[in-house]
A and B are shown apart, each in its own frame.
Chain A
């Protein structure tokens, strides 16, 4: 199986797990699903079966939140995003029990560091999902861990009651709508040697933990995070493919990668968030607005490569060497 091969699944259950979050259970249309490891995600293609008037299709990455020891079905949780872009509106409004979706095989860019003596997990809102797949294995291995879960109960906060029940003091919940805040520095200070920290949540949370770690002198390699920000909208532009001469218009709320994919150009990709490096493309001409965290500064300055999953043209036109 190549990483660009897709699997057809059908939605067998939908649950509203928080005011803004729905949980979807996915089962294969035929055959078996691939096993996965804690922290793995899939890319869900959305909107492709929509009406022809609205041919826009999205692909978003979602963490698998089900137990990795049980891969008969996959479960994902989708938060309704407020920005115009993104397929979460489609998932929330169009997808019903019985809907068929195309997904990528699971990939993992956020696996636990099993050498760790202790795991400290920071989850923000729907960022709880990858940790739900960590927990069964952490418990099975009798690993030492703490979960710090921050949310706003008017929007998110899925599974917080269950987590408190099953984990007891292993889980601290902070509901900002009740005025509870997590003191990140207090959580991080005094942790023993061999502690690893994991963050899944909004960029502000990732930044807060990384800045705190840096100020305290915690080694950077002990901090792991998964950005689920994905592509953000930008100015529309035209992309030309030098090898075929093809010209495509990239709309304001589509990513370059999505535009290429809707023209049936297959580009390897895993994270769709500018971190894994899979989707790298050679650029022949045009100014680039780099938005990834994969390329080095000198590669960015060279203007010869870009990550089309998140980055865009800085001007009106870009020529890719593909």
Chain B
């Protein structure tokens, strides 16, 4: 069986419980498709200037516009799947937001995006390892190395020395 050590780098994000930043005078809540109950409760408790944007697409022009006119003293709250959260965060970073003004809520599913280091395709909905790459069909070992720029986990040919003898399937969380 493949163990965690075989994955090498562990850069899987750790999500802490999110609280309102009492210092901020503006609060922007961005959610993918639905505002989660946790985000709704933050929003309800927020008595400052606030705005909610719901979108299924991280590159939604409305969403990008709200990032472009975001104030230096604001706080951004993100909810949705992990790839969505990090993709919005990467646009936010380009707009000039600092990591400490983006608060990420625990992703709504444990499904991962998997980046194939052989064909560079991203496979969605990954919950176990090895996982078949949607691009090249190889069985990929799913690592805990999370690429923040791609919002995806790094994957490589499982048991490359002997592809016929794949490691046992294991769930990834």
Contacts and interface: CB of A to CB of B under 8 A. Distances in A.
Contact of A219 (B25, B93, B95, B100): B100
Given A191-B72, A193-B70, A217 B24 contact: yes
B105 to A, nearest CB: 18
B73 A218 contact: yes
Interface in B26-79: 70-75
A193 B23 contact: no
B72 A193 contact: yes
B95 A194 contact: yes
Interface string A171-214: 00000000000000000000111110000000000000000001
Given A192-B72, A193-B71, A193-B72, A217 B25 contact: yes
Contacts of B23: 214-217
A126 B3 CA distance: 56
Interface in B64-111: 70-75, 93, 95-101
A252 interface: no
Contacts of A215: 23
Nearest to B23: A217
A194 B96 contact: yes
B123 interface: no
A193 B96 contact: yes
Interface residues of B, number: 18
Given A214-B23, A217-B24, A192 B96 contact: yes
Interface of chain B: mostly helix, strand, loop or mixed: loop
A221 interface: yes
A25 B117 CA distance: 52
A265 interface: no
Interface residues of A, number: 17
A13 interface: no
B95 A193 contact: yes
Contacts of B73: 216-218
Contacts of A195: 72, 96
**Which of B21, B75, B98, B100 counts the most A-chain CB atoms under 10 A from its CB?**
B98
A contacts with B: majority SS: loop
B96 A221 contact: no
A219 B98 contact: yes
A176 B170 CA distance: 68
A193 B25 CA distance: 14
Nearest to B95: A193
Contact of A221 (B24, B71, B75, B99): B99
Contacts of A154: none
Contacts of B101: 219
A140 B113 CA distance: 41
Nearest to B48: A217
A125 B73 CA distance: 29
A117 B100 CA distance: 17
A220 interface: yes
Contact of B100 (A115, A192, A194, A221): A221
Interface of A: 115-117, 191-195, 214-222
Interface of B: 21, 23-25, 70-75, 93, 95-101
A-B CB proximity, top 5 nearest: A194-B96, A217-B23, A217-B73, A219-B98, A193-B96
25 contacts: A115-B96, A116-B96, A117-B96, A191-B72, A192-B72, A193-B72, A193-B96, A193-B97, A194-B96, A195-B96, A215-B23, A216-B23, A216-B73, A217-B21, A217-B23, A217-B25, A217-B75, A218-B72, A218-B73, A219-B72, A219-B100, A221-B98, A221-B99, A222-B72, A222-B98
